[in-house]
Amino acid sequence: MSLMEKYLPSHQFSERHQTTIRCKPGELLDIIQNFQPPKDRLGDIAMSVRLLPARLMHWVAPSRVPRPSPFTPANFIPLDRDGDREIVGGLIGKFWRPDFGLLVIGSPSEFLACNPPKTAKLVIGFLAEQVGGATLLTTETRVYCPDRYSLTMFAPYWLAIRPVSGLLRRRMLRTIREIAEHGDGRPGAVGAI
């Protein structure tokens, strides 16, 4: 059983992207595990637009609405790694809300056990498969909505963010390929995924 299946066997939404990289699978997963996205103008613009409602709410009512926190790879809880084959991270929250409605999850077992109503569960995974002298790297995101409310709230959000999310994911794969194949010295940061 894959780690994606272990941590999120059921889902209504998914997105998958692939690239081939001249790197060993284990080395590639090490890069991903320590990956900190470099500054990306498109990513910064997309996140600014995404956080605009939360910023406006804070501006209108600063005493009732906290300043929005930036969303980064550090928000994901590292869930599991299967040697040189697969790595997964997850989130639980109300992603459609201006503040993402993220729950604090302390461990992989808490992630598995946590199934609150009106809240979605997300897993992102990276699968590294040796293909000749290269590695086929597949990234997949899955989202599970446990009830009608979360499904109704998440579906339009997914339709709005999916094109930009897919573009950013493809750009991330390209950056990971550059780091793996050319060792361009970009700094890493532990805890990304």
Between residues 125 and 73, the one the model is more confident about: 125
Return the number of other C-beta atoms located less than 10 Å from residue 163's C-beta.
9
Q: How many CB atoms lie within 10 A of CB 94?
A: 20
* Alpha-helical segments (H) within the chain: 3-7, 25-33, 41-60, 108-113, 148-182
Report the interhelical angle of 25-33 vs 148-182 (nearest 10°). 120
- Structure confidence at residue 44 as a pLDDT band (50, 70, 90): low
Tell me the average pLDDT across 9-21.
96
Reported confidence tier of residue 40, pLDDT bands at 50, 70, 90: confident
CA pseudo-torsion sign 83, 88, 89, 90? negative
This prediction has a pTM of: 0.82
